[in-house]
Structure 1
Amino acid sequence: MINPGIFLGIFVQLALLGTLDAVTGLGPLGWIAGAAYGVAVGGFLTYGLNRSTARSLGPADAVTLGRSGLVGCVTALVVNTAGRETVTMVVIASVALALDAVDGQVARRTGTASPLGARFDMEIDAYLILILSVVVAQSLGPWVLTIGAMRYVFVAASRLWPWLNSPLPPNMARKTVAAVQGIALVAVVSTILPLWAGFAVTLGALGLLTWSFGRDTWWLLERHAFAATPAEVA
């Protein structure tokens, strides 16, 4: 059975798409993509709740779910065959990025932080970066897709090397680099930067992301190697 909060989230997603349709005129593919995204998020959340000790979504999760609805609208705009509204896309993506700082504060202030909420927040961020990289790749080239795909390549690699699933220590640099990706991609999507500057900004963002993933992978590898080393016999 779908949790009432998740059901409400799907309803809000459809309502946001309806509002977007009234403003920009979504095509059929835009509606399908946005609605499918909302249903998929609801399904993954239901699966996560069933596997966790939580019985319902917390207040921070509600903020993330609202942010997810905005990301669904960005998805609809990206695949919309009736014409892209760049300004609308930039505004919605910017609000979604700004709200990323809100759900964490709500979780801490209400004492409702949870592994499910943290994973939900991270996956929404990763998907937004992926969909924005698809847009930027159309003007700068397919290499930009590396930014959006890196998180998913890491997840796929963890299937082969389970030690990549080990928890990482909290790190502000990692969070900052993740935030930079969204800001850089939105800036390029907005076309306020000349092409050469957009290229430089995106390349710099990719460099930071590669450094961040590389550093974390090296840390996990060292930790795995240390754990695998037999203890010396006295």
Structure 2
Amino acid sequence: MAVQERYDTRPFGPDITAGMGVQLLLLEVLCRVGGLGTVGWFTGCLFAVATWALLTVALRRTWTTSFGPANRVTLARTILVGGVTALVADSFDRRTPVVVLVTFAAVALALDAVDGQVARRTGTSTSLGARFDMEVDAFLILVLCVHVAIPLGAWVLAIGLMRYLFVAASWVLPWLRGALPHSMARKTVAALQGVVLVAAGTGVLPRASAIAAVAVALGLLVWSFGRDVAWLWRAGVAAGVPPVAAIGGPPLAGVTSRRAGPDR
């Protein structure tokens, strides 16, 4: 997809700062209404500060003059993910309101389709926005895996860690950095992970059914990654890309594979 750069002239700083303020307000509401404990509150605050710092640095490095409407939608999703993260962290020490956790996660997943539509319709699609969107998705899946792993077992974490392992492998294997062709199967499998994890996280499904559903989702994810890795290997061999990065070579500035940064 062609990247279009069209922004207004408003500074992006207030958007990020306001988002951090809303995140802290949400944590306060969870403390007073949902019984969020100290561990959850501290984790949520840490998430908010890290998000603010990373976004500020990333936007300044791209010389962006406006945050953009699509990124504001993604920022709203980030706030919900922060709430989910706080509740999951708190669940190790006390009983958390599962209904609230699942609601936040479900809304964040549903809004995943909105920011892309906004970016395309307003002509503000950027590689940074796509990366922001992707990182929020990946982190939400990882947090949901932690939540589901408590009753089902640590094996569930493989779903959330697979994307990060792929990126780590691309630091050593240059051919993994290639651009993948568009695939509805890849998108469908990715979307299925969130749906299954939310369903399993409700606690409504019998344990055997939840295990079966998550296992099927993991199997499909392994198949999807395996198919893409095979495609990237063939493309890398055809293009003459070295199989392993040279020792002492330049650090990886960014991964181009849609496994690491899909277009909005």
Q: Specify the alignment match of 1:188 in structure 2.
A: 200
Is 1:19 matched up with 2:20?
no
Please list, as runs of the form range in 1=range in 2, the aligned pairs for 1:87-126 lying within 5 A after superposition.
87-126=99-138
Find the aligned partners of 1:20 and 1:128 in 2 and give their Cα distance: 18
C-alpha distance in structure 1 between counterparts of 2:174 and 2:79, whole Å: 32
* 1:149 partnered with 2:126: no
Is the CA contact 2:12–2:67 (under 8 Å) kept in the aligned structure 1? Answer: no
> Match for 1:5: what amino acid?
D
Question: Per-residue deviation at 1:145?
Answer: 0.6
Residue matched to 1:65? 75
Q: In the alignment, what sits opposite 1:176?
A: 188
Question: TM-score of the superposition, structure 1-length normalised?
Answer: 0.93
Query: Unmatched 5+ residue regions in structure 2?
Result: 1-10, 242-264
Q: Deviations over 1:81-129 (max 9, x none)?
A: 3421111111111111111111111111111111111111111111011
d(CA) in 2 for partners of 1:222 and 1:43? 39
8 Å contact kept, 1:25–1:82: no
Gaps of 5+ in 1: 230-234
Shift of 1:48: 1.7
The equivalent of 2:54 in structure 1 is 44
Deviating above 4 A after TM superposition, structure 1's stretches of 4 or more consecutive aligned residues are none
Match of 1:32 in 2: 42
Aligned to 2:95: 83
1:54 and 2:64 matched? yes
**Alignment partners' CA distance in 2, 1:191 and 1:58:** 38
Q: Report SS of the residue matched to 1:191.
A: coil
Identify which of structures 1 and 2 has the higher relative contact order when contacts are C-alpha pairs closer than 8 Å and 6+ apart: 2
Opposite residue 6 of structure 1, the aligned amino acid is I
- CA distance in 1 between counterparts of 2:40 and 2:47 reads 11
Cα contact 2:35–2:96 (8 A) shared by 1: no
| 2:12–2:65 contact (8 Å) kept in structure 1 | no
What is the number of equivalent residue pairs in this alignment?
229
* Partners of 1:5 and 1:56 within 8 A in 2: no
Deviations 1:167-195 (A, max 9, x none): 22222221111110000000001012111
Which of 211, 223, 232 lines up with 1:199 in the alignment? 211
Task: Note if 1:220 corresponds to 2:241.
Answer: no
Aligned partner letter, 2:80:
L
Change (3 A) 1:128 1:176: same
Aligned to 1:4: 14
Q: Over aligned residues, Cα RMSD in angstroms?
A: 1.6
CA contact (8 A) 2:36 2:87 kept: yes
Q: Does 1:138 align with 2:150?
A: yes
Identity %: 55
Deviation of residue 53 (structure 1)? Answer: 4.3
